[in-house]
A and B are shown apart, each in its own frame.
Chain A
């Protein structure tokens, strides 16, 4: 049985949120404005997305699906770069982040859609957009966390890296400990998601499907399939992002090129 929510149900939920905000006001905790604003944003965003998707699903056009997908990829590539402690100069950041999330997402999404939906109608928006979106979200998270680990440590470890280069090490041997740590940091979220699945958290897709009336075991199977794909996309995107960035932060003469980061101060001699 699927329970469709009525406006009355939603108003009840709003009342609950207002109670929390009221508590903040009453106890001078100071977050009531922020909470009300966040709730309004959330409502507007989700209703907009819901209406947009309804429109897109009615059109059922592969071209439109691809267009929406490209917009999502662009936004994700931007978000990966937006939260880094230091950034690559020029267009490289966008190029590398875009390539990392796109390559992993497109490959894994195509795999998912072709297996689940069959080759004929794999761009059917009702499946393609949510599945692509989940995969993209994971790719974005992993690339972002991996690059954060790489870029916040590479400056501190400059002496150690250059000592290895000066002793005749190649750029990849000198940077490999850092790269390993960065990629590992990037896949922590997908690892946590997998080990915690069902014990600590009920995964979103599974809960959603159960709420929408699916048999729990079917829902679990669906979740298993998706989680394995998410692990693949998170891993691929963390690896791509870290390797591409390290390529750009070193050169063919095996030099460390931190001058290609923004805000880098050169050492004085």
Chain B
């Protein structure tokens, strides 16, 4: 059985041209466009976090057909500013062999699991937020600047994990300013044009 692809089409607004995309499983699209054009907002709409008048579907299923929490578990948005609500990092996801492997692969110390999120550096929080999302095994990941706070070497480690996920079937839609990252991961570009 082939995995469904994520499709979307958005009518033009006063500031952005109409756009359409299809993101297959096992593939990665990089979302580009001038800053301020609404790339973050587009990811949020695809995750159904912002109201919109586009049409988005996952295979035959329309966004509105699924309860929103279920949609978001399958089409998961990872914000550039990660949010934390509990006292320790480990309270935010289940810590098991899979997540420990990820944490090691991302080169974050395991001791950070017991720290308060506010005591982590921005880059550590960014990687832990990725671990948290990956641990739920979504079908698609919508990543907003996933390596913006990371040095080159660490960013490579994150990209390696993402490439791995892609191979095992996860579809990726990534907003990034790092063109090297785009080159390495992406199977295509999705351009947003200002009107």
Q: For the complex, what is the distance from the CA of A265 to the CA of B9, rounded to whole Å? A: 26
Q: Is the CB of B69 within 8 A of A255?
A: no
Asked whether B70 lies within 8 Å of A168 as measured between CB atoms, the reply is: yes
Residues from chain A with Cβ under 8 Å of B50 in the complex: 255
Among B40-48, B104-112, B165-173, the stretch that binds chain A is B40-48
User: What is the minimal beta-carbon distance from B2 to any residue of chain A, in angstroms?
Assistant: 24
Complex contacts, A164 vs chain B, CB 8 Å: 83, 85
Q: With A159-B82, A159-B83, A269-B42 as given contacts, are A166 and B77 in contact (CB-CB < 8 Å)?
A: yes
Contact across chains for A254 and B68 when beta carbons are under 8 A apart = yes
Q: Is A160 an interface residue (CB 8 A)?
A: yes
A256 to B47, CA, bound (A): 13
| Minimum C-beta distance from B127 to chain A (A) | 15
- Option from B39, B69, B73, B136 in Cβ contact (under 8 Å) with A269: B39
Nearest A residue to B67 via CB reads A254
Q: Nearest chain-A residue to B192 (Cβ)? A: A269
| Contact pattern, B 29-54, Cβ under 8 Å of A = 1, otherwise 0 | 00000001111111110011111000
Q: Which of A163, A169, A253, A269 makes the CB contact (< 8 A) with B48? A: A253
CA–CA, A269 and B45, complex, Å = 11
The answer on a CB contact under 8 Å between A255 and B48 is yes
Could you say which residues of chain B place their CB within 8 Å of the CB of A269? 36-44
- A165 an interface residue at 8 Å Cβ cutoff? yes
Q: Is A167 a contact of B132 with CB atoms below 8 Å? A: yes
**Pick from B48, B51, B136: contact of A167, CB under 8 Å:** B136
B133 within 8 A of A: yes
Residues of B within 8 A of A170 (CB): 69
Q: Is B72 an interface residue (CB 8 A)?
A: yes
What sequence of 0s and 1s flags, for each residue 215-253 of chain A, a beta carbon within 8 Å of any chain B beta carbon?
A: 000000000000000000000000000000000000101
* Interchain CB contact under 8 A, B83 and A168: no
B84 contacts the other chain (CB 8 A): yes
Closest to B39 in A: A269
Q: Are A160 and B84 neighbours in the complex by a CB distance under 8 Å? A: yes
Interface set, chain A 103-154, CB cutoff 8 A to B: none
Q: Which of B36, B38, B41, B83 contacts A163 (CB 8 A)?
A: B83
Q: How far is the CB of A113 from chain B (nearest CB, A)?
A: 44
Which residues of the partner chain A approach B42 to less than 8 Å between Cβ atoms? 269
Q: Give A257's nearest chain B residue, CB to CB.
A: B51
B-side contacts of A160, CB under 8 Å: 83-85
Contact between chains at B69 and A168 (CB < 8 Å)? yes
Q: Does B149 contact A (CB under 8 A)?
A: no
Complex-state Cα separation, A267 to B129, whole angstroms = 20
Chain B stretch 157-181: residues in CB contact (< 8 A) with chain A: none
Contacting pair A166 B85 (CB below 8 A): no
Once A162-B49, A162-B83 are accepted as A-B contacts, the answer to whether A267 and B136 lie under 8 Å apart by CB is no
CB-CB < 8 A to B77: which residues of A?
A: 166
Contact residues in B for A158 (Cβ distance below 8 Å): 83
In the complex the two chains form, is A163's CB within 8 Å of B84's CB? yes
A177 and B73 CA atoms in complex are apart in Å by 21
Q: Do the beta carbons of B83 and A255 come within 8 Å of each other?
A: no
How far, in Å, is A189 (CB) from chain B's closest CB?
27
In the complex, 15 of the A-B residue pairs with CB atoms within 8 angstroms, ordered by the A residue number, are A157-B85, A159-B79, A160-B83, A162-B79, A163-B85, A166-B76, A166-B78, A167-B133, A167-B136, A169-B69, A170-B69, A174-B85, A267-B41, A269-B37, A269-B38
Which residue numbers of B lie inside 8 Å of A, CB to CB?
36-44, 47-51, 64, 67-70, 72-73, 76-79, 81-85, 129, 132-133, 136
Please list the 4 inter-chain residue pairs (A to B) with the smallest Cβ-Cβ separation, ordered nearest first: A163-B83, A159-B83, A269-B40, A168-B73
